[in-house]
């Protein structure tokens, strides 16, 4: 990772306790400007709670969040875009009306035509939200996250439930956004997604970060030139899912 980059986001020793359970247990990491950072792990690992603390949706028991070196505050809220894991859209409202509604909430507004083109929504502008497919809905939610020209974008499990083609189409959109200079924080339990999109990853398990670094560096450090033989007899190089299994003994698909 280029150490000369500014640090866009930093989490310092985040802890979140619920009655009888510590969901987030001392999580710390830094996200340099202009990269795609992946917070990975199985369902229940604590990654969504961690991101919700950073976004300000959930209050931490302790710990701090910094945005460009300052405690995250009003500037952070104006300059970030969020695609939540679940977002309710207004019934009887078109795609165009939805984007325009969310744009109106910000002083800093992206050009409507630019958002529509970037998220490939041109043919859907007059369609009712209720008539969108899963992939179309996710593209609209991404457009909503871009209405304020964000410098930092959170994508929380954005491709869960999508078919393979819709997932790959969404990946292309994310790559395009990153290429335009935005910093992205992605939470996912799909290791193939992380390996394609992320420059840097932190893998969580049971509320803690168990490893952190560039995917290719983590794999090389853990496995070297080792190959893996599958039950089918196929031989291949290790991937991020193999890394997770090797470190934690848990299956991401469980």
Predicted confidence (pLDDT) per residue in 58-94, tens digit:
999 999 999 999 999 999 999 999 998 777 788 889 9
Residue 207's pLDDT band (boundaries 50, 70, 90)? Answer: very high
% of the chain exceeding 90 in pLDDT: 65
Residue 197 pLDDT > 90: yes
Predicted confidence (pLDDT) per residue in 12-25, tens digit:
999 999 999 999 99
| Integer Rg of the chain from CA | 19
- Provide the token pair at 28: 């710390």
What pLDDT score was predicted for residue 69? 95
Compute the average pLDDT of residues 177-201.
92
Residue 208 pLDDT > 90: yes
Residue 250 pLDDT > 70: no
Tell me if the pTM is above 0.75.
Answer: yes
Domain residue limits, the chain: 7-248
Average pLDDT, the chain: 90
182 within 8 A of 110, measured Cβ to Cβ: no
What pLDDT score was predicted for residue 103? 93
184 or 157, which is more confident?
184
The residues facing 228 across adjacent strands are: 236
Predicted confidence (pLDDT) per residue in 39-68, tens digit:
988 778 899 899 999 999 999 999 999 999
Instruction: Quote the CA–CA distance of 243 and 238 in Å, as a whole number.
Output: 7
Compute the average pLDDT of residues 109-120.
92
Residue 190's pLDDT band (boundaries 50, 70, 90)? Answer: confident
Instruction: Quote the CA–CA distance of 99 and 125 in Å, as a whole number.
Output: 9
Predicted confidence (pLDDT) per residue in 158-177, tens digit:
888 888 888 898 999 899 99
- HEC-encoded secondary structure of 191-226: HHHHHHHCCEEEEEECCEEEEEECHHHHHHHHHCCC
DSSP string, 100-165: HHHHTT-SS---HHHHHHHTT-GGGTTSBGGG--HHHHHHHHHHHHTTT--SEEEEESTTTT--HH
10 within 8 A of 29, measured Cβ to Cβ: yes
Q: Which of 170, 176, 183 is nearest to 35 (CA)?
A: 183
What pLDDT score was predicted for residue 193? 92
Instruction: Quote the CA–CA distance of 197 and 176 in Å, as a whole number.
Output: 11
Compute the average pLDDT of residues 181-188.
94
% of the chain exceeding 70 in pLDDT: 96
Instruction: Quote the CA–CA distance of 237 and 224 in Å, as a whole number.
Output: 10
Residue 1's pLDDT band (boundaries 50, 70, 90)? Answer: low
Report the CATH fold assignment for 7-248. Rossmann fold (3.40.50)
Residue 254's pLDDT band (boundaries 50, 70, 90)? Answer: very low
């Amino acid at each position: 990772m280029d150490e000369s980059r500014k640090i866009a986001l930093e989490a310092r020793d985040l802890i979140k306790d619920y009655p009888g359970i510590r969901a987030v247990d001392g999580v710390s990491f830094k996200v340099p400007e202009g990269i795609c950072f992946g917070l990975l792990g199985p369902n229940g690992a604590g990654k969504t709670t961690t991101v919700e603390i950073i976004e300000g949706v959930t209050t931490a028991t302790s710990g701090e969040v910094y945005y460009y070196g300052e405690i995250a505050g009003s500037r952070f809220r104006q300059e970030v875009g969020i695609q939540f894991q679940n977002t309710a859209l207004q019934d009887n409202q078109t795609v165009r009306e939805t984007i325009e509604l969310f744009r109106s909430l910000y002083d800093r507004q992206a050009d409507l035509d630019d958002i529509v083109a970037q998220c490939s929504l041109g043919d859907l502008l007059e369609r009712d939200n209720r008539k969108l497919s899963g992939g179309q809905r996710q593209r609209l939610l991404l457009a909503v996250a871009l209405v304020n020209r964000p410098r930092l974008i959170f994508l929380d499990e954005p491709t869960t439930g999508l078919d393979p083609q819709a997932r790959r189409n969404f990946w292309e959109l994310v790559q395009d956004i990153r290429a335009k200079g935005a910093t992205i924080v992605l939470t996912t339990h799909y290791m193939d997604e992380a390996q394609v999109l992320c420059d840097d990853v932190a893998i969580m398990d049971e509320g803690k970060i168990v490893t952190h670094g560039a995917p290719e560096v983590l794999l090389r450090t853990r496995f070297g030139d080792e190959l893996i033989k599958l039950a089918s007899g196929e031989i291949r190089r290790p991937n991020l899912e193999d890394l997770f299994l090797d470190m934690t003994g848990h299956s991401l698909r469980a």
